[in-house]
Structure 1
Amino acid sequence: MSDSPRVYVIHENEEWWPPFAAAFEAAGVPAEQWLLTDGSIDLDAEPPQGVFWSRLSASAHTRDHAESKEFGRAVLRWLESWGRTVIGGSHVLEFEVSKVAQHAALRRAGIDVPRTVAVFGTSDLKRRAREFAPPFISKHNQGGKGLGVRRWDSHDEFDAWVDGAEFEPSPDGITLIQEFLFAREPFVTRAEYVAGDFVYAVRVDTSAGSFELCPADACVIDPGAGALEPVFPPFALRDEVTGEHPLVAEHRAFLRANDIRIAGIEFVETIDGRLVTYDVNTNTNYNPDVEALAPLSGPGDIARFLGSLLPERVPSA
């Protein structure tokens, strides 16, 4: 690590780095990766000077990096103990790896959330699922990229899955049973925030029925293309959602209350007029097609924001 103050980006997936590296370079902000796929820390040694941005992901286990989340907890606690500026610190990581934590905080903030039951293990899954009329959803508490989310149109079908060989537990052993939200139109919205401020909103087409809605080019690969050519899902700029939108104001207050500075928050507009928030992504990614059209840039705003926090540095114009 360098002796001069810089932004250190803490993560475990190098495929996500290029758009952020380009944004830091364009903003004139010195930055480097800190990959938590292996290594060690001296807990008695002082960390380098700089700003530390955690992009640790709930989906790390899908890249054989399940331990990175635990290593990340140790690294963030170490940095915080030395008073370093950490964006996405240890408390934010807990939101990233627990949808229960997200749900509880959103509900406490008065934001409409889906009715949800958290079940540890499998012995109570079938009984609790019967509290929900079909269709309903099951998902992992520790998810990411929409993996592990399934729609169920009958309790018998769900029971067979729980008892069968295809059942896939959440990495933390907690399965969520959740009401199915009937969208007014076949899309969900992802609102992006940097430094707690609204950047833009993205319309994500769900007409194909997929729950895997990661916007980054690094995580949308068409299996039918032999895993060679990236195929982007239908993401589009939703410019009618602005900073004046009432739910955006609720999201901003929620982010301030929980000291979350960078996030993508997903919500759906239902056929009965609800605005339901169901996911908080604290290591948000950005779709390149949307970025090409948006008046602001997510990575660009992040680079400028983090650069402004560096000591003894005059932000570039």
Structure 2
Amino acid sequence: MSKIYIIHENSEWTDHLTKRLNELALPYEEWFLDQGIVDLTTVPPNGIFYNRISASSHTRDHRYAPELTEAVIAWLERHGQTVINGSRALRLEVSKVNQYTALNTAAIQTPKTIAAVGKEQILKAAKELNLSSFITKHNRAGKGLGVQLFHSIEALESYVFGPTFEPSVDGITLIQQYIEAPEPYITRCEFVGGKFVYAVRVDTSEGFELCPADACVIDDLFCPVGEETESKPKFEIIEGFDDPIIEKYERFLAENNIQVAGIEFIRDQNGNIFTYDVNTNTNYNSDAEEKAGKYGMLELAKYLGMQLEPIKQ
């Protein structure tokens, strides 16, 4: 029987999807790819395959999950199987350099960024960027890993050569223009089937590591998922969000064969939009969705069901 195959390495981020699939009585099977084999002499089962591998998999001791997934997807695509968020999406998920070059190709503005390998090269890149404020981040990240704000080369040097320096798992550190927003928040736009679903306002006043998933590693100090301040929630769906950037994002997703994504941007003091993250393993915050009456995983489950329908016949 044809079914939906969910490729992932984190059950806590997948349970919300399987719950919706059960509600819709859709057949599915989970492929947990933290380790395994890929027999290239065999033919894949019939169905559709949805890739949910995350760039932060190494933080859950699944260091080679993206590499294994790339092999599995290559095998699936070789045999003409339908892969939601296939090989191109995976390449963008695990590399912000790939993200930014693809966004720029689509005429979408990103912060000025220099990629560096090696501690001395990180300092050199910051000097070449020549900005009063800048941030560092990991090329392969997720959850805002490695994001640090600096206001001087001296402060960066102390960090890079100090005991708290945190290298990217792929060795590439990004030095990036710091975009100062008039208010401490960013906007995350969610897409299913390449089409806009809703936008979320995310409060960044307590740090950079902001993940919308309800399940979050407790040790992630700056991941205030589901928590609320006295005045406003961390995650809030924006009613009636409408901006020309949506059309650009949808075109970008189509050009890169990405069906499901959360794209994040920030506005500077002049209202200019800077896009800085494309998350192809997108998650949703249940508190925000409950208040707005909009449900990302339900829309995703419906979309997967529609993709499965012609294969079942």
Contact 1:142 1:170 in 2 (8 A): yes
1:303 to 278, 285, 301: 301
Q: Is 1:185 aligned to 2:167, yes or no?
A: no
Question: How well do the aligned residues superpose, as a CA RMSD in angstroms?
Answer: 2.0
Alignment deviations for residues 152-172 of structure 1 (CA, whole Å, 9 cap, x no partner): 122111011112222111111
Per-residue deviation, 1:139: 0.3
Contact 1:102 1:279 in 2 (8 A): yes
| Pairwise CA distance, 1:307 | 1.0
Q: Is the 8 A contact 1:200 1:294 kept in 2?
A: no
Change (3 A) 1:110 1:223: closer
- One-letter identity of the residue aligned with 2:270: D
Partner of 1:272: 270
- Per the alignment, residue 160 of structure 2 pairs with 162
Per the alignment, in what secondary structure is the counterpart of residue 54 of structure 2? coil
Give the drift of 1:230.
7.0
Q: Which residue of 2 aligns with 1:67?
A: 64
Contact preservation (8 Å) 2:7, 2:51: yes
Q: Which residue of 1 aligns with 2:257?
A: 259
Relative distance call for 1:211 and 1:37 in structure 2 (3 A) is: same
Paired residues in the alignment total 306
In the alignment, what sits opposite 2:204?
206
Give the corresponding residue for 2:237: 237
Which segments of structure 1 move beyond 6 Å, counting only runs of 4 or more?
Answer: none
TM-fit CA distance, 1:57: 0.5
Partner Cα distance (1:93, 1:257) in 2: 14
Q: Specify the alignment match of 2:43 in structure 1.
A: 46
Matched, 1:10 2:7: yes
Q: Distance in 2 between matches of 1:184 and 1:251?
A: 23
SS at match of 1:51: strand
Say which of 55, 59, 62 aligns to 1:58: 55
TM-score scaled by structure 1?
0.92
Q: Which runs of 5+ in 2 are unaligned?
A: 229-233
Deviates more, 1:13-22 or 1:137-146: 13-22
With over 3 angstroms needed to count, the CA separation of the structure-2 counterparts of 1:273 and 1:230, relative to structure 1, is closer
Q: Pick closer, same or farther for the CA change 1:274–1:285 going to 2, 3 Å.
A: same
Match of residue 288, structure 1, among 272, 286, 289:
286
Aligned-pair CA distance for 1:296:
3.3
What are structure 1's unaligned runs of at least 5 residues? none
Give how far 1:311 is off: 4.6
Mapping for residues 217-228 of structure 1, pairs under 5 Å: 217-219=214-216, 221=218
Q: Tell me the equivalent position of 1:119.
A: 116
List per-residue Cα deviations over 1:40-90 (Å, max 9, x = no partner): 221111111100000011000000001111111111101111110001111
Is contact 2:226–2:285 with CA below 8 Å preserved after alignment? no
Instruction: Please tell me the residue identity of whatever aligns with 2:138.
Output: H
Counterparts of 2:114 and 2:96, CA distance in 1 = 11
Whether the aligned pair in 2 keeps the contact of 1:220 and 1:231 (CA below 8 Å) is no
